[in-house]
Amino acid sequence: MIQQDRNNAAVSETLGYILLFAIVTLSMGFIYAVGYPMLQSNIDANIFESAEQSFIVLQSDMDRVAFDQKPVTITRMKLQNSELSVNNGSSMTITYDSTPPLPVNTGNIEFEKDKKKIIYEMGSILESYPPDSMIMVSKPPIYVTDIDNTTVTTVGLISVNGEDSVSGKGIATMTFTHNLSNMSMSSSPTDVEVNINSNYAPVWKKYFEDIGFTVTNTTSSGITAHMNNTMLILSRHVVDVDIS
């Protein structure tokens, strides 16, 4: 009887260890299955938030190069399994004072991770989320004011010049170099027409309506906006962008 009891105790102890091991294994599997996606989601959110802050710095650096004509500025940014690119895809055409239309390639800088994007375009910062949500995070130097009962429209147009991209896990270095700046203005109040070609046309439609323009034509890739009887101050700034 004593030997039998010992055998039973040994079997029970072995079964107990097996059961405990199975419970621990299942628990770890459950935690991994449920917790890891949440952890990864938080990591991705932090990466995107960090990129947002980097683009705020980028916008400030671009302003210094464009408006203050600082010769060169360098900005660095962690990629963390994302892509950073510069292209000449977007454009703006301005017509006023019965002058020939002035087409300007404005280009943009894009950060993309998991189909979410942060975009620097025409001096603004935009964000795009799948499937088709877009917002403006920081405004461009384009605005309308009233001075002595006269409407004044100011367009500080910053063009990004470059075709480049990098991706992966390293640190990207962006070099901004001043190319040219010029300024013009209407001789008297005039009618202004602005045509924008951009993948983010809905954001631009909302912005131009918010500052008082009348938007007369809208597509998924472009808008036409008008401001009548306004003085126009137009400055154009081209910044060369290199990414490495």
Query: Along the 244 residues of the chain, how does pLDDT read in single tens digits?
Result: 455 555 454 445 666 666 666 666 665 665 555 554 554 455 556 778 888 999 999 999 999 999 888 899 999 998 888 999 999 889 999 999 878 888 899 999 999 998 899 999 999 999 999 888 999 999 999 999 999 899 999 999 999 999 999 998 889 999 999 999 999 999 899 999 999 999 999 999 999 999 999 999 999 899 999 999 999 999 999 999 999 9
User: What's the pLDDT at 143?
Assistant: 95
The whole-angstrom separation of Cα 10 and Cα 22 is 18
Cis peptide preceding 131, ω within 30 of 0:
yes
Q: Is the dihedral of CA 91, 240, 237, 207 positive or negative?
A: positive
User: What's the pLDDT at 101?
Assistant: 87
Residue with tokens 């989320």: 129
**Cβ-based neighbours of 223, under 8 Å, separated by 6 or more:** 195, 196, 201, 204, 205, 208, 215, 217
Q: What is the pTM of this model?
A: 0.82
